[in-house]
Amino acid sequence: MGIPDEDVARVRAATDIVALIGEQGALKRVGQRWVGLCPFHTEKSPSFSVNAEAGFYYCFGCQASGDAITFVRETEHLDFVDAVRRLADKAGITIREDGNSGRDNQKRKIFLDAMEQATEWYHHRLLTAADAGQARDYLRSRGYDGDVVRRFRLGWAPDGWDTLCVGLKLSEDVAVGAGLGFVNRRGRIQDAFRARVLFPICDPSGNPVALGGRVLPGSTDPAKYKNSTETPIYSKRRTLYALNWAKQDVIKSGEVVVCEGYTDVIGFFEAGVPRAVATCGTALAEEHVRLLKNFATRVVLAFDADGAGQAAAGRFYEWERTLEIDVAVAALPPGSDPADLARSDPAALKAAVEGAKPFLQFRIERILGAADLSTPEGRARAADHALAAVAEHPDDLVRDQYVMQVAERCRLEPASLRDGPRTPAAKPSRTERTPSRTPASSDDRDPRGYDGPPDGPEPEWDEWDDGPVPADNGRRGATAEFRPGLEALRLAIHRPEEVGDRLEPVLFSDPTQRAAFTALMDADDLGEAIDAAPGRVQALLVRLTVEEPRSDPDEVVVQLVRDTVRRELPLLAVEARTSTSAMEQAAAAALGLQELDDPTRRAEAARRLVAWLLVRAQQNGIGQDA
Ligand SMILES: [Zn+2]
């Protein structure tokens, strides 16, 4: 990518985000924000907010969020560089493309042109040439008629040394650079594909960037499939076959089917599921999923995901968490592949996608299905295997539900299974709570009407206390709680001078909020903080830019200090059994808490308690993520 950071910043600064988003739908000014109907989901009352000054948008209904560049990427399905170019054009800004990136762009264009010409040349050859008769017979035998051949622009590479390169008069630079040819040992240029049926691989806009070639049955060539080498226009980790054709249905349905082979994809299209893509001779990688995330939030794997095995499981769970997508597995009949099923029973192929199951469910069913559940010994063994799979899931609530399922199937007591498999297996845990820090008794409640639990991590940040959440989405109501952590972040964003240097990371018990605060502290401005923050933290920060603080900063700081000190008290009580210093600290902390209630002394008390918390944090690693 060739756009310098300063130029990206100039484009951002020159873009009027309200005008940009306003092109898609009316925005109305409400206080500091602009609100309107969300362009990313269907709604009747507006829950989409824009902060013009900070340059960010956030939807309270579907959680879409970002800046002007994100907006263009998501509404026009462009990559980062193209989105910046689009905005630069709009704002009349010339982006400095340094010598290199200018040359690179020119080269890319030449390679794309060559690839387009070659695709058309091979396609024409398949449709008309005499030497393609065998290829046409083969495709017909697979059930591909002329419509399929034209729709997917299939081609035929003749059985010659340099038929394409000579036919298109490709220079060595272009042929080699675009991956269409190579220089052989005698220094002559030679075609990369020979005697193969070709599947053009395109970028999401439909420009061919590579080719996949399959030999005909009976060929002596040991490599059944062969793909273009990586080139400046083709990276296999970032490319998905058929995304250009599937894009529309993927967006419409919010779901994408991922296969392993080009013919599987075509099978899905033929069976009436036109939202299938395939990796190009590589395993599904994070870059693929990031690309798909622009179009859909649910990924259905249509290959033997069990074969992909345990190593893949960890990746899938990680993507579910960090990229906020769902990974499911199509319920294909064992031993069948989509391409064959599409011909023998297209309805079954469609049903397999409709009946897709969460990845962990799929694995457990595989394990239990293969087990002997007729004897106590068999059931115990099956339970152990299934629990080993369950233990890999990072979410304890999810784990718990599958434990109950395994217990029921294996006729065991759930309680006896909760600790996981009896054969040792690593049990990942992302639980940040430690037992000694769990809630204290209810008489710790704050007398001032904050009815949130005074201790323990704050829950997920989608539970919030104010703002234009539609009344019917069920999150609000009598249980709405004051969340000092979120309010402190809003203040740190919107009125930093009023909280000054009174906030510290140690005051945030929720890891996402703490990371958000740290990001704000470490950056020179809000935009920089958002750029540098990881996904979840970034989403939180962007959302808070469109929420205004409504509380008195002093109250918020005092409440945060109070909550944090209270979380420390049970720990101190334990330490005090063996340490007089801890006993003294506990007494001082209790006194400090009392002083927090005294308006004339609370500022000083808060300062002292924070200083003490910082020392403790340093000693105990509190407030730092492992
Ligand atoms: Zn929305």
Q: Which residues pair with 226 in a beta bridge?
A: 213
Q: What's the rounded Cα separation, in Å, for the pair 32 and 29?
A: 7
Q: What's the rounded Cα separation, in Å, for the pair 397 and 385?
A: 19
**Residue 444: both structure tokens together:** 């710790």
List Cβ neighbours of 311 (8 Å cut-off, separation of 6 or more). none
Distance in Å, CA 37 to ligand 1 centroid: 8
pLDDT (tens digit per residue) in 440-492: 333 333 333 333 333 333 333 333 333 333 333 333 333 333 578 999 999 99
Tokens 């956030």, residue located: 58
Q: What is the pLDDT of residue 95?
A: 80
Distance in Å, CA 59 to ligand 1 centroid: 5
Distance in Å, CA 86 to ligand 1 centroid: 23
Distance in Å, CA 69 to ligand 1 centroid: 17
Q: What is the pLDDT of residue 469?
A: 35
Distance in Å, CA 474 to ligand 1 centroid: 16
Q: What is the pLDDT of residue 419?
A: 66
Instruction: Work out the number of other CB atoms within 10 angstroms of the CB of residue 433.
Output: 11
Distance in Å, CA 65 to ligand 1 centroid: 9
Q: What's the rounded Cα separation, in Å, for the pair 464 and 480?
A: 7
Distance in Å, CA 53 to ligand 1 centroid: 21
Distance in Å, CA 255 to ligand 1 centroid: 17
pLDDT (tens digit per residue) in 159-201: 999 999 999 999 999 999 999 999 888 889 999 999 999 999 9
pLDDT (tens digit per residue) in 415-442: 777 766 655 444 334 333 333 333 333 3
Distances (CA, A) of 181 to 177, 195, 440, 545: 8, 14, 71, 52
Distance in Å, CA 157 to ligand 1 centroid: 47
Distance in Å, CA 66 to ligand 1 centroid: 12
Distance in Å, CA 359 to ligand 1 centroid: 27
Q: What is the pLDDT of residue 342?
A: 93
Backbone φ and ψ for 259, nearest 5 degrees, come out as: -110, 180
Distance in Å, CA 60 to ligand 1 centroid: 7
The DSSP output letter for 219 is -
Task: Count the residues in the chain.
Answer: 626
Instruction: Work out the number of other CB atoms within 10 angstroms of the CB of residue 573.
Output: 13
**End-to-end CA distance of the chain, in Å?**
34
Distance in Å, CA 58 to ligand 1 centroid: 8
The answer to whether 563 touches 455, Cβ cutoff 8 Å, is yes
pLDDT (tens digit per residue) in 1-58: 568 888 888 888 889 899 899 887 888 888 778 899 998 888 888 889 998 888 889 8
Identity of residue 298? R
Instruction: Work out the number of other CB atoms within 10 angstroms of the CB of residue 121.
Output: 16
The long-range contacts involving 460-467, CB below 8 angstroms and separated by at least 24 positions, are 461/486, 461/510, 461/512, 461/513, 461/540, 461/543, 462/63, 464/547, 466/547, 466/550, 467/60, 467/547
Q: What is the pLDDT of residue 307?
A: 61
List Cβ neighbours of 141 (8 Å cut-off, separation of 6 or more). none
Cα dihedral: 456, 457, 459, 462 (round 10)? 150
Distance in Å, CA 36 to ligand 1 centroid: 10
Q: What's the rounded Cα separation, in Å, for the pair 214 and 390?
A: 39
Q: What is the pLDDT of residue 585?
A: 83
The answer to whether 444 touches 454, Cβ cutoff 8 Å, is yes
Element (H, E) at 104: helix 99-128
Distance in Å, CA 63 to ligand 1 centroid: 6
pLDDT (tens digit per residue) in 340-380: 999 999 999 999 999 999 989 988 988 898 888 999 899 98
Percent of the chain past pLDDT 90, that is, above it, reads 35
Cα dihedral: 548, 554, 555, 561 (round 10)? 110
The answer to whether 88 touches 73, Cβ cutoff 8 Å, is no
Distance in Å, CA 541 to ligand 1 centroid: 17
Most confident of 77-86, 177-186, 610-619: 177-186
Q: Which residues pair with 241 in a beta bridge?
A: 278
Element (H, E) at 320: helix 305-322
Distance in Å, CA 603 to ligand 1 centroid: 41
The burial of 347, by beta-carbon neighbours within 10 Å (0-12 exposed, 13-18 middle, 19 or more buried), is given as exposed
Residue 533's Cα: distance from chain center in Å? 14
What number of helices (H) and strands (E) belong to the chain? 27, 17
The residue ranking higher by pLDDT, 287 or 298, is: 298
List Cβ neighbours of 370 (8 Å cut-off, separation of 6 or more). none
What are the strands of the beta sheet with 225-227, ordered from one edge? Answer: 155-157, 196-202, 208-215, 225-227
Q: What's the rounded Cα separation, in Å, for the pair 509 and 624?
A: 10
Distance in Å, CA 278 to ligand 1 centroid: 29
Q: Which residues pair with 67 in a beta bridge?
A: 56
For residue 16, give the nearest of 57, 45, 75 by alpha carbon. 57
619-625: average pLDDT: 55
**Residue 541: both structure tokens together:** 């920060």
Instruction: Work out the number of other CB atoms within 10 angstroms of the CB of residue 518.
Output: 19
List Cβ neighbours of 479 (8 Å cut-off, separation of 6 or more). none
Residue 145 has pLDDT above 50, yes or no: yes
The answer to whether 219 touches 196, Cβ cutoff 8 Å, is no
Q: What's the rounded Cα separation, in Å, for the pair 337 and 345?
A: 11
Tokens 């309270």, residue located: 60
Instruction: Work out the number of other CB atoms within 10 angstroms of the CB of residue 318.
Output: 13
Its pTM stands at: 0.56
Q: What is the pLDDT of residue 227?
A: 93
